[in-house]
Amino acid sequence: MRLNLVFHNIVLKEEEINGDYSLTLDYFEELRENIETLLKSGLTRFKDIRYYFDDGYKSFKELVFPVMKDKTNLCCLAPIANLLGSENYLNEGDIDFLSKSGIKIASHGFSHAALAVYKANTLQKTPKGGEYKDSPSGKNEILSEKEVLFQFLESKRLLENITKSEIDEFVFPYGLYNKEVIDLNNRKGIYEYLSTCDEHLDSGSAIRPRILVSNKRPIKETVEFIRSLE
* Residues engaged in binding Zn ion (CB under 5 A): 54-55
Contact criterion met (CB below 8 Å) for 54 and 31 = no
**By beta-carbon distance, which residue lies closest to Zn ion?**
54
- Cα distances (Å, whole numbers) of residue 54 to 62, 102, 107, 108: 15, 17, 10, 8
Q: What is the total residue count of the chain?
A: 230
- In whole angstroms, the minimum distance from the beta carbon of 215 to Zn ion comes to 16
CA-to-CA dists, residue 14 to 17, 46, 62, 90, 179, angstroms: 6, 30, 17, 22, 40
CB atoms inside a 10 Å sphere around CB 83: 20
> Smaller CB distance to Zn ion: residue 34 or 178?
178
Q: How far is the CB of 61 from Zn ion (least distance, A)?
A: 17
- Single-letter code of the amino acid located at 18: N
- To the nearest whole angstrom, how small is the minimum distance from the Cβ of residue 21 to Zn ion? 9
CB of residue 35 to Zn ion, shortest distance in Å: 22
Dihedral through CA 23, CA 135, CA 107, CA 1, nearest 10?
70
Instruction: Select 19 or 42, whichever has its Cβ closest to Zn ion.
Output: 19
Closer Cβ to Zn ion, 54 or 202, answer by number: 54
Which residues, 6 or more positions from 27, have their beta carbon under 8 angstroms from its beta carbon?
A: 215, 219
CA angle 76, 69, 58 (to 5 degrees): 60
- Which residue number, 55 or 94, has a Cβ lying nearer to Zn ion? 55
Shortest Cβ distance from residue 126 to Zn ion (Å)?
19
Q: Do 6 and 57 meet the contact criterion of CB atoms below 8 Å apart?
A: no
Residue 44 or 111: the one with the smaller Cβ distance to Zn ion is 111
Taking the complex as a whole, the smallest distance from the CB of residue 121 to Zn ion amounts, in Å, to 22
- 44 vs 151, which CB is nearer to Zn ion? 151
Q: Please give the sequence-ordered ranges of beta strands (E in DSSP) within the chain, or none if there are none.
A: 2-7, 10-11, 23-24, 48-55, 75-79, 104-105, 118-119, 122-123, 169-171, 193-195, 207-208, 211-212
Supply the minimum distance, in Å, between the C-beta of residue 43 and Zn ion. Answer: 31
Residue with Cβ nearer Zn ion (2 or 139): 139
